Structure 1
Amino acid sequence: MVGSITHCEGYRAAAVGLSRSWAGIGIDAEVHAPLPPGILPLVATSDEIADASRRVSDVCVDRVLFSAKEAVYKTWSPIMHTWLGFEDVYVILSRKTFIAHVAPSGLGTQALHGRWAVIDGLVLTAVTLEHSKES
């Protein structure tokens, strides 16, 4: 089995999958509100923020970027057993989906595909990583 857990104020969730199908799963939940002052520059580059803001305008883009990177980390960490910083991941948001470009190698891909939604005041993100077709 592979899986991921998340929690925030008023919400808890878990996702699991069969390890024969999935190399990793990452989920994250955050309250849909702007990040605290001073945090956004630690989470995303100015280009990443500008691009996300152009593509998606009706949500707290900063919180969606944060949550997407958290889901990517939760996919990365159990497989790689190394640290992955916010600066190591560049997220391109689209409506309800995202692509996370991961700078360090080792997962068999450097582009992870995820989904996101804002529901009932929460930002929810999820990333799955299938086993490579060569395995």
Structure 2
Amino acid sequence: MIAELLPDAVASAWRRDDTEPVTLFPEEAAAVARAVVGRRREFATVRLCARLALRRLGLPETPLPPGTRGEPRWPHGVAGSMTHCAGYRAAALARTTDVLSIGIDAEPAAPLPEGVLEGVALPGEQHRLETLTARTPEVPWDRLLFSAKESVFKTWYPLTRRELGFDEASIDFERTPSPAGPGPQPSAHTGTFTARLLVPGPVTGGVRRDHFTGRWLVREGVVLTAIALSR
């Protein structure tokens, strides 16, 4: 599903569960040696997804140990992002000659726990979510906002190596209208989003990036968001 949100230059792969056997590189295995079984399994599956994406780019498999903040260490010349949640794991990669940075995120398609939204959303965002919820209550807009901000951070961090708070980006959503006519409600919802950075953005190619644009999808119990920052 993640491929639907990304340009052709980005290779991706996804899995619904951790049933496929995966042999980790020693560096990868060491990173989760003390983790619980569930964490080790999702860690392995998401790296399987990354290896499949590397192959689709014509690149060899390589160890992908986590960095200081948990971010994957990609091979030279590769930009990428990983995500995992209950029922979904995915990785998306591209050559840096095509894409500067990628951010993807998956979340369960359910409302955020009580009290979380206030720590994630700016006042203006909360007001916009109320309007969106009134129009399309089938979409868990609060969870979608959380996911979009995760994708923003994953795009931001490789370019800056600095933290980005939830209150340092403001998200606006657009929903793609469903075809008009009689019949049941659509089983999927999709659209685009714009993230306006409220702090100085990264400078790439001599240009300061003050906003990121991405796409979103809600389908089969999963919320997905993705940003691919092209050159």
Q: Count residues in correspondence.
A: 131
Alignment-derived partner of residue 127 in structure 1? 227
What is aligned with 1:41? 118
Distance 1:3 1:101 in 2: 21
CA deviation after TM superposition for structure 1 residue 106, in Å = 3.3
Q: What is the DSSP-based 3-state SS (H/G/I as helix, E as strand, rest coil) of the residue aligned with 1:112?
A: strand
Q: Tell me, what secondary structure is at the counterpart of 1:53?
A: helix
Q: Percent identity?
A: 44
On the 8 A contact 1:4/1:16 being kept in 2, the answer is yes
**1:30 and 2:130 matched:** no
Name the structure 1 match of 2:209.
Answer: 109
Following superposition, the deviation at residue 3 of structure 1 comes to 0.2
**In 2, are the aligned partners of 1:117 and 1:123 still within 8 Å (CA)?**
yes
Any unmatched runs of 5+ in structure 2?
Answer: 1-77, 176-190, 203-207
* Deviates most, 99-108 or 78-87: 99-108
AA at the equivalent of 1:103: L
Aligned to 2:194: 99
Pairwise CA distance, 1:44: 0.3
TM norm structure 1: 0.92
Letter in 1 for 2:193: F
Q: Which moved more, 1:104-113 or 1:46-55?
A: 46-55
Based on CA coordinates, which of the two structures has the bigger radius of gyration?
2
Conserved 8 A contact 1:4-1:74:
yes
Q: Cα deviations across residues 3-60 of structure 1 (Å, max 9, x unaligned)?
A: 0000001210000011011110000000011111111011002321221332452311
Structure 1 window deviating more from structure 2 (63-72 vs 104-113): it is: 104-113
Confirm or deny: 8 A CA contact 1:25 1:126 kept in the other structure: yes
Matched AA of 1:74: K
RMSD: 1.2
Matches of 2:113 and 2:132, distance apart in 1: 22
Question: How far 1:77 moved relative to its partner?
Answer: 0.7
Partners of 1:11 and 1:61 in 2: CA distance: 19
The equivalent position to 2:144 in structure 1, one of 52, 64, 68, is 64
Higher RCO structure (Cα 8 Å, ≥6 apart) = 1
The farther-off stretch of 78-87 and 104-113 is 104-113
